[in-house]
Amino acid sequence: MGSKTILYATHLEAGGKIVDFGGWDMPLHYGSQIEEHNQVRQSAGMFDVSHMTIVDIEGAQAKPYLQRLLANDVNRLDSPGRALYTPMLNEQGGIIDDLIVYLTDSGYRLVVNCATREKDLAWMQEQSKGFDVNIIEQPELAIIAVQGPDSLRKLISALDPEKSALVARLKTFQGLSVGSWFIGRTGYTGEDGVEIILPQDEAVDLWHTLIDTGVAPTGLAARDTLRLEAGLNLYGSDMDETINPLEANMAWTVAWKPEERNFIGRSALEKIRTNQTQRYKLMGLVLTERGVLRGHQKVITDQGEGEITSGTFSPTLGYSVAFARVPVDAEENCKVEIRNKLIEVKMVKLPFVRHGKQVF
């Protein structure tokens, strides 16, 4: 038996198929993965992401601490509410985790992955030596993500006037507090929407209110196909501590300026850039014929072999797509080994889908 979120009984009542996910008992789907996927692309769906780890960083040296800890630069957060996506690296430039950091009135709020919780917290504590900071985990909070083209409209109609007004004025990648809630206009689907951080004892009521408003409960399976279509990495599949951001299609998350900011992993990444020793790149693969691309399948290119890191059938596109880590000089045409046969596929830049439309 794994850990359970406050919404666990609610998932069972709704017929959710429960699976282990990073040590948590979470709903894979509530009957039809494809229907849930399409609901998010076409209207609005919601996810229980209360298994994610919320960490508040406070203290006089919170900013310099995070400027050292994270590859992206929190100095870019120029007003409370602004958010930033960033990797957290080891000294070799490998990705310990990827996370979102918000600037708040009292410091910073980080949302990190559940499966990396223990190592993340240990690393944060270790790197805090010499800094006047407090690292405060917030296990008493739940998170509900509401995503889809109709998500904001449905939320505004469901919430009280104060919370509705905040949702209406939030900008993309901005998160602000309203009472005991924290609402961020962020997500993991390639659609518009918000992630609501709220006290656990209010989560079940919100979940039922959203159902009454026409927001569909959505499980992990659809969350995975949605994020894959949107070109969003999954930690442990598309990146880990052996992979650096340059190899994970995440170079844009590394803030090189100012040059004097010595974030952890900078020296290793600069050597790769200077010596042009990047080994791989992360690209998209498209298979429009029959067959499904899956993780760990071998990719054959003119520049050598690569590997699929994530693959699935895309409900939006109607055929199979995948992420593949391939040699950095690999070109458009390549093949994938499926059941001992080499199948031609097309290599494209990520993402595949944004706001329900093909973009490659």
116 within a domain of the structure (yes/no) = no
| Axis-axis angle for helices 62-69, 117-127 (nearest 10) | 120
- Is residue 304 in a domain? yes
Residue 175 and residue 300 in one domain: no
The answer on 291 and 213 residing in a single domain is: no
Q: Which of 197, 213, 229 is the last residue of a domain?
A: 229
Please choose, from the candidates 152, 143, 150, 123, the residue with its C-alpha nearest in 3D space to the C-alpha of residue 135. 123
**CA 146/CA 29 separation, integer angstroms:** 16
DSSP-derived secondary structure letter, 189: S
Query: Could you tell me if residue 194 is inside a domain?
Result: yes
Spell out the residues 6+ positions from residue 358 whose beta carbon is closer than 8 angstroms to its own.
316, 317, 352
**In which domain, by residue range, is 180 found?**
8-48+139-229
Q: Residue type for 346, please?
A: K
In a domain, 249, yes or no: no
Residues 147, 205 contacting (CB under 8 angstroms): no
β pairing state of 45-48 and 216-217: parallel
Q: Residue 240: in which H helix or E strand, if any?
A: none
- Find out whether 44 and 215 touch, Cβ atoms under 8 Å: yes
- Cβ count near 302 (within 10 Å): 10
The domain that holds 328 is classified in CATH as: 2.40.30.110
Residues 317 and 210 in one domain: no
Instruction: List, for residues 154-176, the tens digit of each pLDDT value.
Output: 999 999 999 999 999 999 999 99
Segment 193-251, tens digit of pLDDT: 999 999 999 999 999 999 999 999 999 999 999 999 999 999 999 999 999 999 999 99
Please check whether residue 93 lies inside any domain of the structure. Answer: no
Band the pLDDT of 1: cuts 50, 70, 90: confident
Model confidence at 332, in pLDDT bands (50, 70, 90)?
confident
Residue 333 exposed, middle or buried by CB count within 10 Å (0-12, 13-18, 19+): exposed
Total domains present in the chain: 2
Query: What Å distances lie between residue 257 and 72, 75, 87, 275, CA to CA?
Result: 10, 11, 16, 19
Q: Is residue 176 part of a domain?
A: yes
